[in-house]
Amino acid sequence: MTRPVIAVFAGGTSAEHEVSTASGTACALALARSFPTRLFPITADALPPGFDPARHVVFSTLHGTFGEDGGMQRLLDGAGAHYGGCDAPSSALTIDKSATKRRVAAAGVAVVEDLVFPASGRPEPADVVRRLGPRLVLKPNNEGSSVGLHMVDGPAELATALAAVTSGQWIIERRVDGREVSVGVLRGKAMGVVEIRPHSGVYDYASKYTKGMTEYLAPAPLGDALTATVKAAAEAAFAACGCRDYGRVDFMISSSGQPFLLEINPLPGMKETSLLPKSAHCAGLDFTALVREMILPAVERFHSGAASSHS
């Protein structure tokens, strides 16, 4: 039986290149403890030189545009390659926050009201406030790492934030004041719930990636009943979107104890201190064990010879 080499894809062409590079480096070092491993820096929207679908299984840490939206997955499918994580259709769905929310809402998972618009068709602030209320969240509809996140209060602040919107699809949501949590999902099963407490009050890019700006409670002190509710919602959302292997599901829990889906991240940050590893640690998996479990389903597909686009 041919033993595959794990090809770790890192970097990419999106705004999250730096985050992806850090994730890829950490994962390649950890995967090398269990498998022959090679790190491939990705510098274009294409399969890298030296990649061989006949002997490589891909562990991608590419975030954002092309890496996480189904673009790279479609290339891998076309090449007959095996890879870990969500396939092309579920990746394309989950990168779209609004479409994801519609899908999971149909499966019974609570979501907050929103308005989606292109940069060329920015809505009137007063109309938005009448529809969704004065406390709002504005963010790109298809970016990760809280790139472009704005918390606004009232039409004047919304008008200022909208003035900076120049391209792409955007989403405005009613803001839920409460507790932000994240749940790792591995092979369809929720792991630990992690509570996120940014010192600034907003879990934006700086709070995510600046040391000391956010406190993480793992496991989150929610009590057994609410923990079970959040885990069940994470598993339901993951399944509703056709996700596979692993992912991360984020919620805001309102003051009444209702978890509202924020987003599903099919290729979450994977440094040792990232949210998915924190969730896994609650379930008894250290970083090395986690990345091994994350890639094993793809290795199994490689050995079975199943076509990656239909597995």
At 231-275, the pLDDT tens digits run 999 999 999 999 999 999 999 999 999 999 999 999 999 999 899
202-211, 217-226, 246-255: segment of lowest average pLDDT: 202-211
Q: If pLDDT is split at 50, 70 and 90, which confidence band does 204 have?
A: low
Q: For residue 138, give the CATH number of its domain.
A: 3.30.1490.20
Residues 118 and 227 in one domain: no
- Check whether 117 has a pLDDT greater than 90: yes
State the Cα–Cα distance between residues 258 and 261, nearest whole angstrom.
10
> Is the confidence at residue 207, as pLDDT, over 60?
no
Mean pLDDT for the chain?
A: 92
Q: Flag whether pLDDT at 147 surpasses 70.
A: no
Instruction: Say yes or no: 195 and 98 in one domain.
Output: yes
Per residue in 14-70, pLDDT (tens digit) is 888 998 999 999 999 999 999 999 999 999 999 999 999 999 999 999 988 899 899
Confidence at residue 205, expressed as pLDDT on a 0 to 100 scale:
57
- Residue that the structure tokens 């719930």 belong to: 193
Torsion of CA 89, 95, 98, 101, to 10 degrees: 70
* Residue labelled with tokens 């504005």: 138
Residues 69, 130 within the same domain: no
pLDDT of 16: 84
Q: Is 167 in the same domain as 214?
A: no
164 contacts 170 by C-beta, under 8 angstroms: no
Checking if the pLDDT of 3 tops 80, the result is yes
Reply yes or no: is the peptide bond before residue 297 cis, omega within 30 of 0.
Answer: no
**What mean pLDDT do residues 162-170 have?**
93
- CATH number, position 71: 3.40.50.20
246 touches 85 (CB < 8 A): yes
pLDDT for res 308: 39
| Spatial CB neighbours of 273, under 8 Å, sequence gap ≥ 6 | none
Looking at the fold, whether 185 and 271 belong to one and the same domain comes out as: yes
Q: DSSP code of 270?
A: -
CATH number at residue 255: 3.30.470.20
Q: Under a CB-based contact definition with an 8 Å cutoff, are residues 137 and 263 in contact?
A: no
Range of the domain at 213: 93-110+177-284
Judgement on whether residues 19 and 138 belong to the same structural domain of the protein: no
Report the predicted TM-score, pTM, of the whole model to 2 decimal places: 0.90
Query: Are residues 137 and 33 located together in one domain of the fold?
Result: no
One domain for residues 132 and 251: no
The pair of three-digit structure tokens given for residue 14, joined into one six-digit string: 């999106």
The domain total for the chain is: 3
Quick one: 252 and 267 in the same domain? yes
Is residue 184 located within the same domain as residue 101?
A: yes
Same domain, residue pair 103 and 235: yes
What is the rounded distance in angstroms from the CA atom of residue 221 to the CA atom of residue 86? Answer: 30
Give yes or no: residues 71 and 134 share one domain.
Answer: no
Give the pLDDT confidence of 63-82 residue by residue, as tens digits: 888 998 999 999 999 999 99
Which of 135, 150, 174 is where one domain is finished? 174
Q: What percent of the chain has pLDDT over 70?
A: 93
